[in-house]
Structure 1
């Protein structure tokens, strides 16, 4: 039976509309998968470029960092033209250049062009960066008293369209936790101003069950890799951290076995909720 031209036209238009309005169900799958953005982060106390053997070797640390395949890395104990121990080199800048990453260095101490502090390396462009002050007992003063000092770094990133703030810190190392108590309170206050997704990286110089760290876990989740980080040779405790806020999922974490520093790094696979 032959169709009239008008009927054929109606059927053709209907078919086109149906295809436009009701695409196959599988066409929606990529959109659902795109809701979570994967991100690999790491925290590493690099011991001013020296390994467990106390030998400065930036090639060794570059190799250790490269093997992590991280998108964002928080570094602690970073020298920038600080002393002979690191050959007066810009350790933060050199590692960033070698790895092809952006860098923000947040000095704790700046003394006559010599600097020591923390840094963030990022494959994503750093949109904004701040070096916050928290309470410290200076190692450069023979009779230190607790006082505000810089070295709590924050960077703002956009990861495949998702806003993210990354913080890196190095808390006080002394057995007396009183300075860490103040530092934790100030960390919470500074991070509390930020409504975005947040990640805190650092060497906290305390184990996860330490009372002075407990307030952090009200707003953040400790990403537990199930392994210890210090010292790098036969570690006996975990004092290095990746902690995340709401809106950041945890897919897994690990502690690579490396002696490129006196700490082992912690590496975490995360997902950012859109």
Structure 2
């Protein structure tokens, strides 16, 4: 049976690009790519057993955390992260007509935000319409003389579109980090470990007490992000990435043992290798 891997579709998304690189890095064989509509659906396909793996974006260097992925991970703490990949993102404006006729620009909300400055300068009157993915935007504008999509150059080839402008992202160093998710046993060794937790109490010093657990063990926290718990106003879930020392090390197990009593819920997504393609 092939390994079914879910990603944010349709074909031509940055998620598909990341998935193909991660498949090679993880030495996965006989892989069937399964495009999904929406990031929550990508995670649900894995959690529900319809797929064996999934690739999702977790954060962007310009717009920050991908909230749909964070919320989906908190809903499925049984999943684990096997690998991370930082992918350079260069957006193009794609269409079937001239730039002068464009009155609507479609893309994923994060892509629209990453190109907001360019759009304000070059297409200030164009209506911006959100879609489920950049490649879905490319599919939707094909054949229209007045619609354009912000997507990858790969999406232009997949959907038969012309490149009207490139690059259109506001920040040259725009990058997105993607995760390879699986079910099964978590690794305790790798470059990075990812945790998420909620605290027993909302009181002065409660979060500091949790973070002291990292400092006391000399562990660098490379990312922290909060999301509403969705139970009541002012209650949050914290997502933390921790840089790990070289193996063998008991640092992660020791951290979890001391952090656990301070948390109402603690999700450990495992340790994993991370690679940055920005310099490649």
TM over 0.5: no
- Please give the TM-score of this superposition, normalised by the length of structure 1: 0.23
Indicate the structure (1 or 2) with the bigger Cα radius of gyration: 1
Q: Which has the higher contact order (CA 8 A, sep 6+)?
A: 2
